[in-house]
Amino acid sequence: MKEMSDIGLERSNRQCGQSISRATLALLCFYVFAGVFNGEALLRGVERMPYGNKRDACVALMKPAAWLSRVTRAGCLRAWLEKTVNLDPPP
């Protein structure tokens, strides 16, 4: 059985990509933007969890993101997408 050439290994050997500090910054930016875009929806989601410590922790964590999402109106993107591309419920 002939194994295919592995692009991931090739790129790893070629040291493709970026420094660890730059990657960490990119990841942090991603989390901030993701929180801002989805904060309100995420808060709605965690509020539906069963009552308990886990729910309380999630709600406390999501409240700042939801506030930021509301203030910056960044949550509109997701709300608009959900409204426009409304995939019908299953039969």
- Which residues of the chain form contacts with other proteins (CB under 8 A)? 1-4, 6-9, 11-12, 15-20, 22-34, 36-38, 41-42, 45-46, 58, 61, 77-78, 81-82, 85, 87-88, 90-91
Q: How far apart are CB 56 and other proteins at their closest, in Å?
A: 14
Nearer to other proteins, 20 or 52 (CB): 20
Q: Which residues have a Cβ under 8 Å from the Cβ of 64 and sit 6 or more positions away?
A: 39
For residue 60, the minimal CB distance to other proteins (Å) is: 12
- What are phi and psi for residue 3, nearest 5 degrees? -85, 145
Q: Considering the complex, what minimum distance in angstroms separates the CB of residue 72 from other proteins?
A: 13
Residue 38 half-sphere exposure, CB side, CA atoms within 13 Å?
Answer: 10
Lookup: tokens for 22: 């730059």
Interatomic CA distance for residues 70 and 37, integer angstroms: 9
Nearer to other proteins (CB atom), residue 1 or residue 51: 1
CA distance 26 to 50: 33
In whole angstroms, the minimum distance from the beta carbon of 25 to other proteins comes to: 5
